[in-house]
Chain A
């Protein structure tokens, strides 16, 4: 198919439709509302399910119900709405059902603002809902990747009976760029053996997340963790840029990764041997790749659109063997390539340290600047 000029939210919605989305339940919240609006027309015209729920609580629990039937199901929201969905996400995870969520992140905490942010990293990748569970989290950096990864999210979520989250920021949801949509794929004809669709000619199927006997609950916890180990072993994805001869490396995801790539190219033009590792799967986190990279560079720079969340996962993986610096823009700000370039130049010139936390050094610099 040819490339078209597509808005991120619309592109994700249409791609989901073409990947066989059977049911969508949502609630308006900026900056993801176009997904809801688009699907309110698109799903009924294909005879598929669309419901505008009464709240994010309603939406996520409609997803929960539809997921019990084995249907390919999705919801989308933005940060404050995602917080409301956490209850349902924990239940879906505890019931070991596949479901896909799109979080178009905005500035926070609280009502925050509607500008692009990566402030839900910890909430999404490290839980947010109660209990031990492990969503698969994909972080596209372009509208084409968002299209591709929404299909991957469905496939992985069904393969591992797990939540899969497409984690993007408001700029990816709102901006337009050329991208190619997939061909229309048929909605599935057969449903998994566990699908609760009426006990026709068979015994009953029950979907629940309550195990009053702690031993049974523990077995479930082990089963979910074992499945997660399979995900960790098989599904880590990341992209590398200019890393072959790099002396310095940036680690950044999504839009921050995309801007960082511009900064890397500018630095390369100035003769600085810097590269970029951009995680595609934030969970499972590409810890081995980060660890190996840390062994062969003088310093790592983590760039995020938050107060430094992924940086803790980087630090946890490299065990103080390499100096790490952090640069972030929280609050709904997107870092400029020049800001990141200035950080690269500072690191190249500056004294590197293993002492203290990179977040503290960064905050001191930011507060001095302002």
Chain B
């Protein structure tokens, strides 16, 4: 007889995540964001009806880690590609996974237009205040004074202008049903982030329109910090500039109980 009694699984890999080691750097929060999306899609039993759209950046290979259909978009164009998929297959769940260089710089036209159309897709938007894959250049989200490889003396707002607060901006569009910002810097906020991702997919499943969850994330490698210091930097520098919050919760969305 088993002295320990029946085993209870309390934590395991979500079924919609593949059994692969990721290429993400140690301490990077992409892994958390991937896992949260996978847990939500598992819970909603959506694996067989989901099509993901990867973008260009560190998450270009997101499709390696999700165990459902995936397509890979040109830089910034994921919302347009997702529109093409979703319009042809309106009963499928379609989401993009985009970083801040992709979404807020080269892809600003596509994301604004998709939100304005009320495109019934979900966007998971990773804001880590720099271009990760190309080695840490200044992004539209880079903070004033932040040192990057292309702003070596710190982002000079006289020359490079100001960061873009994407959630606040998109929330002004009538087509956007659900736009929120969350952060991945501690367990409490990670739980809130998961709840928001669940809400976003519920919005899509109910056909309520465009949904986006912006996730404040760390990039220890390109920030030149340890993972712990990076978490601290996110909390002390990014959070004040990019407050977490619900920027747009449409009336029909507010009635969703999760």
Which residues of chain A are within 8 angstroms of B112 by Cβ–Cβ distance?
54
Q: Looking at the complex, which one of A49, A53, A68, A210 makes contact with B60 (CB distance below 8 Å)?
A: A210
Residues A69 and B72 in contact, CB atoms below 8 Å apart: no
Q: A217 an interface residue at 8 Å Cβ cutoff?
A: no
Tally of contact residues, A, Cβ under 8 A: 39
Q: How close is A70's CB to chain B, nearest CB, in angstroms?
A: 9
| B77 surroundings in chain A (CB, below 8 A) | 57-58, 61, 64, 87-88
Q: B30-73 CB contact bits vs A (8 Å, 1 = yes)? A: 00000000000000000111110110000011010011111111
User: Size of chain B's interface in residues, with CB distance under 8 A?
Assistant: 36
B71–A87 touching, CB < 8 Å: no
B50 touches A65 (CB 8 A): no
Known: A54-B113, A204-B69. A69 touches B85 (CB 8 A): yes
With A23-B88, A196-B70 as known contacts, state yes or no: A58 contacts B109, CB within 8 Å. yes
The answer to whether the Cβ of A91 comes within 8 Å of any Cβ in the partner chain is yes
Given known A199-B47, A201-B48, contact A65–B53 (CB-CB < 8 A): yes
Chain B residues near A196 (CB, 8 Å)? 51, 69-71, 85
Interface: B152 (CB within 8 A): no
The reply to whether B88 and A71 form a contact with Cβ atoms under 8 Å apart is yes
In the complex, which residues of chain B have a beta carbon less than 8 angstroms from the beta carbon of A88? 74, 77
In the assembled complex, how far is the CB of residue A156 from the closest CB belonging to chain B, in whole angstroms?
Answer: 21
Interface residues of A in 20-70 (CB under 8 A from B): 22-23, 25, 49, 51, 53-55, 57-59, 61-69
What number of residue pairs across chains A and B have CB atoms under 8 A from each other?
A: 135
In the bound assembly, the distance between CA atoms of A71 and B71 in angstroms comes to 15
The verdict on A198 contacting chain B, using a C-beta distance below 8 Å, is: yes
Taken together as a complex, chains A and B put the C-alpha atoms of A318 and B167 apart, in Å, by 61
Q: How far is the CA of A28 from the CA of B51 in the complex (A)?
A: 29
* CB-contacts of B120-173 with A (<8 A): none
Beyond A22-B88, A23-B88, A198-B51, is A61–B71 a contact (Cβ under 8 Å)? no
Distance to closest chain A CB from B79 (angstroms): 8
Q: Which B residues form the contact surface with A (CB < 8 A)?
A: 47-51, 53-54, 60-61, 63, 66-74, 77, 80-89, 92, 109-110, 112-113, 117
Q: For the complex of A and B, list the 10 residue pairs with the smallest distance between their C-beta atoms, beginning with the closest.
A: A65-B84, A54-B113, A61-B80, A65-B81, A208-B72, A62-B84, A66-B84, A61-B77, A196-B69, A65-B85
23 CB-based A-B contacts, threshold 8 Å: A23-B87, A25-B84, A53-B113, A58-B83, A58-B109, A61-B73, A64-B73, A64-B77, A64-B80, A64-B81, A65-B71, A65-B73, A65-B85, A66-B84, A69-B89, A71-B88, A73-B84, A95-B72, A198-B49, A198-B50, A198-B89, A200-B49, A208-B70
